[in-house]
Every structure is written in C-alpha cells, then in structure tokens.
Amino acid sequence: MPAIAPKPAALDTLPASAAALRTFLRIADAWQLDPDASATLLGVPRSTLYRWKKDGPPAPLPRDTLERLSLIFGIYKALQVLLPEPERADAWLRRPNTAPLFSGSPALDRLLSGMTSDLYVVRAYLDAQRGGWT
C-alpha cells in the first residue's frame, strides 16, 4: 500500500501566522527596514505592525498579508540564491538598478509603492534572473 503523504500545515492558522511574522521581522531587520517601510510591505498601518510585533497576531493573518509575506519570502530567497553573500543580497534592494523595471531607482522604491502587484513584479524579476520560480 502506498504511503499517504502528510497533510500540509494550514497557512491560515495562528501558529503559522506567528511564525510567518517572526520570519518577516528577521528579514526586515536584515534589510534594515524602518517600521514605516515594514508596515508598507505588509500593507498594514504602523500601529498594527507594532501591536503584532509586541504581542503577536491576535488571529490568523489576513489573506492579503499572507500573500505579501509569501512574495517577500520569495524575494528574500531569490536574493540569497543570486547573491550568496548575505551582505550583498541584503544590500541589493537599496542599490540603484538600471534594469528597465526599476529605471535607475533601487528595487526597494518599487516595493514600497504599497501595491501587492509590485511585490509580485520584483519577485518575478528575481526569479527570472535565477532561472524560474521555486
């Protein structure tokens, strides 16, 4: 009889939300983001981010926030693959970029537009640079 694969953990649970938030905060620290930039990336008010940081999320994170986190995690991973030196990977977001997508501005400027679609575009760009989505 074939083995039954374990059921994947639900992403819309409080423990998964808390873990995702902790991971995001470590990435935000590595990227040297201030609270306003961190809140913008998550699409939440700064006061909400402060409360989540202090007490953890009181309920599973909203679907939009989970989507943003997934894109941010993908951006982080792609940068780590493309630029294996952590300092270079983390600094890439702040360096001027001549790719047409960025028009000479740092990628972080695009990410901080507040639009989920810009997170997606940057993730797709980085994944294309490394040869595909994973």
Express each pLDDT in 90-125 by its tens digit. Answer: 999 999 999 999 999 999 999 999 899 999 999 999
Q: Please tell me the predicted confidence (pLDDT) of residue 130.
A: 82
Neighbours of 123 (CB within 10 A): 21
Q: Please tell me the predicted confidence (pLDDT) of residue 123.
A: 96
Q: Please tell me the predicted confidence (pLDDT) of residue 95.
A: 95
| Residue 102 phi, psi dihedral angles, 5° rounding | -110, -15
Averaged pLDDT score across all residues of the chain: 90
| Residue 7 phi, psi dihedral angles, 5° rounding | -70, 130
Is the model's pTM score more than 0.85? yes
